[in-house]
Structure 1
Amino acid sequence: ILHKNQRRAFGLLERPVLPPSLAAPIVTYKLFVTGKSGVGKTALVAALAGTPVPPAHHETLGIEATTVYWPAKPRASGRPVIFQLHFWD
């Protein structure tokens, strides 16, 4: 997923396309990020998503949803899993 320390874009849907032989199950989580104003919640989500961190503080109006696909290979099973993380900021 990372290419030259940057998150690789996978296309319009931002989802990795794997050949059928490497198909991995997708596990979905919704993560609600909450906290005091100006502490870096949006910057944290931007960093995890591989998008540029806003240079100046601006208040997030309403809820900003960001989806990130995060591959992992658990030690117990050794089979790759893709986590679909829905960040609600």
Structure 2
Amino acid sequence: MQFMELSGVDILGYAAGLITAFTFLPQVLKTWKTKSAKDVSLAMFLIALTNQILWLAFGILRADPVIIITNAVMLFMTSIMITLKLKYNHS
């Protein structure tokens, strides 16, 4: 697929993927700013991490760039959030 050949469905997929990819950004920024993760659910982020690994593998096997990019970014955001949770859980 060339860049100039994006269909409306492709554009919709990339837009949805972009928004999904940054779902956890507000929580990451809040936790980083307040240095507190006391009320953040570690279990939720561990489930999300597992989900993103599976979706990333699925996207790679299907060679679907929307799924790959979305879940790679989500995996990165989730990893940051888990790190912040472990670091600032005491606050």
**Richer in strand (by share):** 1
Is TM more than 0.5 here?
A: no
TM-score of the two chains, using structure 1 as the length reference: 0.28
**Richer in helix (by share):** 2
TM-score of the two chains, using structure 2 as the length reference: 0.27
